[in-house]
Amino acid sequence: MKQYKKGLKTAEQILKKSPDHGESRAMHGLLMFQLDQKEDGYREIEKGVELDPGSHIVWHAVRCYLKALTLDQHNFQILRDLASMQIHCAIMQVTFVDLYADTYKPHPPPRDWDFSEMLLYRNQILHESGDLDTTLSHLDVIEPLVCDVRAVREKRAQVLLEMGRQEQAMMAYAELVKTNPDCRTYVDGFIKASGERAEDVLEGLVVDYPKSNLMPVMYLNALPADSDAFESALRNYLEANIVRGVPSLWANLRQLYDDQIPTDAMVNGREPFRMWIEYFLAQHYDRTGEYAKAIEHAQRAVAEQPPKDTDSGNGGDAVTTTSSSSSAVTVPELLLLQARIYKHAGNAARARDLANAAREADLKDRYVNTKCVKYMLRADDLAIGGLALAANAYGLSLKRLHQIIAHFREFDDDQFDFHTYCLRKMTLRAYVDMLQWEDRSRAHAYFERAAQACVREYIRLYEAPAAVVKAQVAEAEEAVKEMAQGKDPDKDKHGSSMPDPDPLGLEYVGEADPLAQAAKIVKMLEAHHAKSVATHVLAFDVAYRQGRWVIAMRAVQKMVSVSVLGAGEPEMHVRAMMLAQRVGKDDVDGAVRGIVIKGLHELLAAGEPVPSELDVVAMNAHFDEAKSVVDGMLALGSPWSGTTFKQARQVWELVGAVGFGGSEEAAELAARLEESARAWFAIE
């Protein structure tokens, strides 16, 4: 016997405790539908789709809409809601494009944008299906009716290249390059279609398009860094842009630093443009880790700057000032450059002061203001920036990081109501691109950074002494009480936002199993950032602490598979040593031990990895030899020679975290390494 009312009551009880449970919400809607509360049932099912679009119960709810539509075929509201749900769950038929096109067959509109987009989308589907011949012939048919002529040309060139019709493809890309010589896609397509060496093709294009900003950089990328042609082309490019005073010159050339580019030829530049020469050289030495030289050139650039009433870009007969103080700087970029150098050298406080000086030099510049805030956060200026991570405020830091992760979750929640809006406000192909973007929104770098930081913070919370966590909770509770007492009731009464019930994130500090929460976030990272070594490092760190040895071994294997260094990946060496030592203990099951040891043996035997000196330090630290290794390392005259401050930080963090599981002795050794590194990289 079907007990709909009893089921409805049970569903309501569940939703009182968990109002955001998508499956319960969808089931609640189905029960209401069966009890003839169809409109309310539709709304509940829509809400269920928003909360959990991947559930099988939600799909069953979609069938409910289909059944309703068969009973009332002319109900527009049901049809519209069903369409939104089908789009949201990706239940789409390709043939609907043909059915829509048939409605236009008697009288196709002349160059109508809606019809044009539909035709281009139809062509896109044909291309994605792999039928290149049909795609090309379809382009010829629809070209007179399409408004976006550039899109037709781009698609034709792309299809011709994929079909191997090189000569026709080259002609098609040549026409596109004429329209926009700074489009990398066009230039890359032209090079592929030509079948010649990239440097030979680009050499001709640089001559043909002298005003292009992209082609000279691509030409430099294609040339061998040790060739005379490279040095000549680099000199010409630098002189042309330095004369123009282009601040973004460094950003254009930064990609060349996979190889060492020669800079001696630029040191003796012409005096009128000396500021921009010094500006570029400072960025060069910053990139190579020679921070003292970098700051020296940055200060020279300040000394060569023109006064405020002179155009700093032309470098003509400007009267320069010899003051190197931040108050005398008239070009904010020079201050930001010095701030960046000090940041890379580990002096975050000095970097913050310089960034703030740059902000005060031009208060209307949003970019400079934003950079200043980031430097303040990095400098642990809690009074200004409120960086909870540096203060070991586990609750607040986890709360902030979860807010970033929740921001991406809101994209999913808002999708359902967004479909009908998008179709009215954007073109069809742009809408399809948006749908595809929604599926990969968590591939964004900000999500990756926030998720990684969140996992690391959960690990820190797990390893933190219970007394420290307890004291922190008590302190946070007291702070919350003080905040509540200090509030203005009249202000709160008229406030537009709801009060935060947990402003300091106490619910995260009280988490019973921090590693379980970290493991959930690791799964998201593995789904969207599987090609990142850091993802699998964190997967190992969580599994290792959970005692899941086989999963930890698989994480080590994935580090090797995704790293460009293969079996020479530094993170792999440290984790493999940790795992091998741990599974050798008696409390590990023999069968599990056999699987792990066999997997590690096959992994290390696959190549001949040669650990770097920094890895050896971390490995020896894990085998209780850290003190002697650190003593020997610090006894050297220049232990950090050839490294950057960022690499040095990785060493002392590894020694502190990996060496003895975060013990006081490991912290002391790490502090000694940090002190040595900061002294080595210190600049005036």
Q: Is the pLDDT of residue 564 over 80?
A: no
Domain-located, residue 252: yes
Give the Å distances, CA to CA, from 619 to 171, 240, 604, 654, 663: 58, 50, 15, 9, 16
Same domain, 638 and 674: yes
Q: What percent of the chain has pLDDT over 70?
A: 68
| Range ranked top by mean pLDDT from 61-75, 581-595, 656-670 | 581-595
Q: Could you tell me the two tokens for 506?
A: 């106490």
Identify the CA nearest to 331 among candidates 380, 282, 293. Answer: 282
Same domain, 241 and 351: no
Residue entry with tokens 């709160």:
492
pLDDT of residue 383: 39
Segment 632-649 shows an average pLDDT of 70
| Range ranked top by mean pLDDT from 12-21, 118-127, 506-515 | 118-127
Domain-located, residue 580: yes
Domain-located, residue 675: yes
Q: Is the pLDDT of residue 328 over 90?
A: no
Residue ranges of the alpha helices (H) in 288-393? 291-303, 332-344, 348-361, 366-378
HSE-up (13 A, CA, CB side) for residue 4: 10
- Say which residue, 143 or 584, is predicted with more confidence: 143
pLDDT of residue 517: 92
> Which of 579, 614, 649 corresponds to the end of one domain?
614
Q: Is 526 helix (H, G, I), strand (E, B) or coil?
A: helix
Residues 6+ apart with CB under 8 A from 456: 538
Give the Å distances, CA to CA, from 295 to 138, 278, 578: 60, 10, 40
Domain-located, residue 380: yes
- The tens digit of pLDDT for each residue in 171-196 reads 999 999 999 999 999 999 999 999 89
Same domain, 232 and 341: no
Q: How many Cβ atoms are within 10 Å of 613's Cβ, its own excluded?
A: 11
Q: Give the type of residue at 275.
A: M
> By mean pLDDT, which of 349-363, 496-510, 605-619 is the weakest?
605-619
Same domain, 406 and 373: no
Segment 118-129 shows an average pLDDT of 84
| Range ranked top by mean pLDDT from 383-397, 417-431, 522-536 | 522-536
Give the Å distances, CA to CA, from 227 to 238, 256, 288, 628: 17, 14, 21, 46
Task: Find out whether 276 and 242 touch, Cβ atoms under 8 Å.
Answer: yes
Domain-located, residue 43: yes
Domain-located, residue 116: no
As for how many domains the chain has, the answer is 6
Domain-located, residue 316: no
- The tens digit of pLDDT for each residue in 252-285 reads 877 776 554 555 444 444 455 678 788 888 888 8
Segment 392-410 shows an average pLDDT of 82
- Say which residue, 150 or 362, is predicted with more confidence: 150
Segment 441-466 shows an average pLDDT of 87
- The tens digit of pLDDT for each residue in 25-76 reads 877 877 786 777 766 776 777 677 666 655 555 545 555 655 555 555 556 5
**What CATH code is carried by the domain that includes residue 359?**
1.25.40
Confidence of residue 126 (pLDDT cuts 50, 70, 90): confident
Same domain, 297 and 346: no
Residues 6+ apart with CB under 8 A from 550: 592, 595, 596
pLDDT of residue 457: 87
Domain with 450 in it: 387-414+442-482+502-526
Same domain, 284 and 270: yes
Q: Is the pLDDT of residue 339 over 60?
A: yes
Q: Is 210 helix (H, G, I), strand (E, B) or coil?
A: coil
Same domain, 289 and 302: yes
- Say which residue, 18 or 375, is predicted with more confidence: 375
Same domain, 511 and 452: yes
Same domain, 576 and 605: yes
Give the Å distances, CA to CA, from 618 to 200, 261, 412, 611, 670: 47, 32, 42, 10, 11
Confidence of residue 80 (pLDDT cuts 50, 70, 90): low
Q: Is 611 helix (H, G, I), strand (E, B) or coil?
A: coil
Same domain, 506 and 555: no
- The tens digit of pLDDT for each residue in 134-164 reads 899 989 988 888 888 999 999 999 999 999 9
Confidence of residue 654 (pLDDT cuts 50, 70, 90): low
Q: How many Cβ atoms are within 10 Å of 508's Cβ, its own excluded?
A: 22
> Which of 614, 637, 655 corresponds to the end of one domain?
614
> Which of 79, 102, 125 corresponds to the end of one domain?
102
Q: Is the pLDDT of residue 557 over 80?
A: yes
| Range ranked top by mean pLDDT from 235-244, 265-274, 308-317, 332-341 | 332-341
Give the Å distances, CA to CA, from 555 to 68, 529, 544: 49, 13, 10
Domain-located, residue 250: yes
Confidence of residue 101 (pLDDT cuts 50, 70, 90): low
Same domain, 465 and 563: no
Q: How far apart are CA 517 and CA 464, in angstroms?
A: 16
Confidence of residue 385 (pLDDT cuts 50, 70, 90): very low
Same domain, 406 and 508: yes
Residue entry with tokens 């062509």:
123
Q: Could you tell me the two tokens for 441?
A: 């929104």
> By mean pLDDT, which of 110-114, 420-424, 446-450 is the weakest?
420-424
Whether pTM > 0.85 for this model: the answer is no
Q: Is the pLDDT of residue 381 over 50?
A: no
> By mean pLDDT, which of 71-80, 121-130, 282-291, 351-360 is the weakest?
71-80
Please list the helix, strand and coil fractions of the chain in percent, rounded to the nearest 5, in that order: 75, 0, 25
Segment 448-474 shows an average pLDDT of 83
**What CATH code is carried by the domain that includes residue 91?**
1.25.40.10
Measured in residues, the chain has a length of 684
